[in-house]
Amino acid sequence: MPIAPLYVHRAVENGDDIRAYAARCGLPFARPSAEMHVTIARSLAPVDWRDMQPPHAETIVILIKHGRLHRLGNAVVLAFTSPILTNRWQSFRAAGASWRWPTYQPHVTITYRPLPGWNPALTPSFSGCLVLGPEQWDAETTFALNPPAETETAFTPRMTLASAAS
């Protein structure tokens, strides 16, 4: 295990559900489902990975009752609460991981391209499940804070059995 910067995240396994919610909220351009994730730790300062609890390999399901869309810098994110993720973040901080924000707010970045005039206060809250895959650890030192907007695509719902029957 290296002494290196550390980036820990979990992939969102039901990204199409999040993209559908975003489209209903007036955000037609969203990150591809395969790029959606929740960051748990991001230490730009090198840390000794041996001081960290090992990666959590299980998939987790978080029931979100009142998730809200917010602006975070130039991004629009789905923010929610999760004691599991917050406790995990605190364990990385206690083991020496740096963090550039004053607190930890679990969220999924939806888009970097909201439509002009879009207002998060006018959107309904998100209630549903967020399925997160196993932790992924990376020593990459060139984290992209803002991926290119051209990776965001308009949401196109998949055909369901109910819509195919009509």
**What positions carry a catalytic annotation?**
37, 39, 107, 109
Q: How far apart are CA 49 and CA 27, in angstroms?
A: 38
Sign, Cα dihedral of 92, 98, 101, 103 = positive
H runs (alpha helix) in 46-160: 83-94
DSSP output for 19-52: HHHHHHTT--EE--GGG-EEEEEEEEEEEEGGGS
The SS3 of residue 123 is: coil
Q: Is the Cβ–Cβ distance between 18 and 132 less than 8 Å?
A: no
Assigned token pair, 64: 């979100």
Assigned token pair, 85: 């993720």
The SS3 of residue 19 is: helix
Assigned token pair, 149: 């907007």
How many other C-beta atoms are found inside a 10 Å radius of the C-beta of residue 55?
11
